[in-house]
Amino acid sequence: MSGMTSGGTGDEPIVYIVDDDDAMRHSLEWLLTPLGLAVRSFASADAFLAEHDPGRTACLVTDVRMPGMSGLELHEELVRRGAVLPVIVISGHGDVPMAVRAMRTGALDFIEKPLNNQLLIERIQQALRLAHTRREETRETDAIRARLAALTAREREVAQLVAAGKQNKAIAHVLGISLKTVEIHRHNAMEKMAATTGADLARMLTLVGGVG
């Protein structure tokens, strides 16, 4: 469930900025762009949610206090949506409970204004590295999921039983079909999944959560 949105090759990392304050957005753009970072900024959480590309290697820098949806609510909404992009929350009038809430939601950091530019840049670079790592980690599982989706229903059933270490005979008994048929499905599944051995198949399915 990641990385299969917006097929473009746009793989350079991007920094999303969400802040209702025009001056702050521009100031951040002026700070980050010279570093060779791609920046895309939004004046509201809704604008960000509507227009950003969830499939991209990116991080988000969001202010807390904004008209409409707050930065914290935006963060929580992203988590609800299963987003994986690292989030840095900034705030002009933050307090401890607010910071704790942001961190519990999974923010990489909660930074108070006035911003320490050096610290912010460091965090953003850390966030992008993290985004890249997560992307790498999901790359293989995405490929596996894609191949898994190409299996027929029967092949998937057989594949799961194979991955569980059952032998063909047992699988045939469980599914109420012939040993020969199991061998066919097993072979097709292994081929479609590009698995060399049964252990390979098992590894792939557990990576994807095929056991449940």
Cα atoms in the 13 Å half-sphere on the side-chain side of 149 = 7
Cα(125)–Cα(21) distance, integer angstroms: 23
Task: Report the site for DNA in 51-90 (rule: CB under 7 A).
Answer: none
- Which of 22, 191 has the CB closer to a second copy? 191
Name residues contacting DNA, limited to 185-204 (CB under 7 A). Answer: 185-187, 197-198
Question: How many residues at the interface with DNA, by CB under 7 A?
Answer: 20
Using CB under 7 A as the binding rule, whether residue 179 contacts DNA is answered as yes
Q: Which residues contact a second copy by CB under 8 A? A: 94-97, 99-100, 103-104, 109-110, 112, 163-165, 196-200, 202-203, 206
Using CB under 7 A, which residues numbered 138 to 167 contact DNA?
A: 152-155, 167
Q: Are 117 and 30 in contact (CB under 8 A)?
A: no
Measured from the CB of residue 158, what is the shortest distance to DNA in angstroms? Answer: 8
The Cα 38–Cα 12 span in angstroms is: 8
Nearest distance in Å: CB 86, DNA: 39
Q: Minimum distance between the CB of residue 95 and a second copy, rounded to whole angstroms? A: 7
Kindly state the smallest distance separating residue 141's Cβ from DNA, in Å.
Answer: 23
Strands annotated E in the chain: 14-18, 38-42, 58-63, 87-91, 109-112
Scanning 5-13, 79-87, 95-103, 181-189 for contacts with DNA by CB under 7 A, the matching segment is: 181-189
Nearest one of 186, 196, 139 to 166, comparing CA atoms: 186
Q: By CB under 7 A, is residue 123 in contact with DNA?
A: no
Cis peptide preceding 86, ω within 30 of 0: no
Residue 26's nearest CA partner among 12, 13, 43, 44 is 43
- Give the separation between CA 29 and CA 142, rounded to whole angstroms: 33
Q: Minimal distance in Å, beta carbon 198 to DNA? A: 6
What residues line the site for DNA (CB under 7 A)? 152-155, 167-169, 175, 177-181, 183-187, 197-198
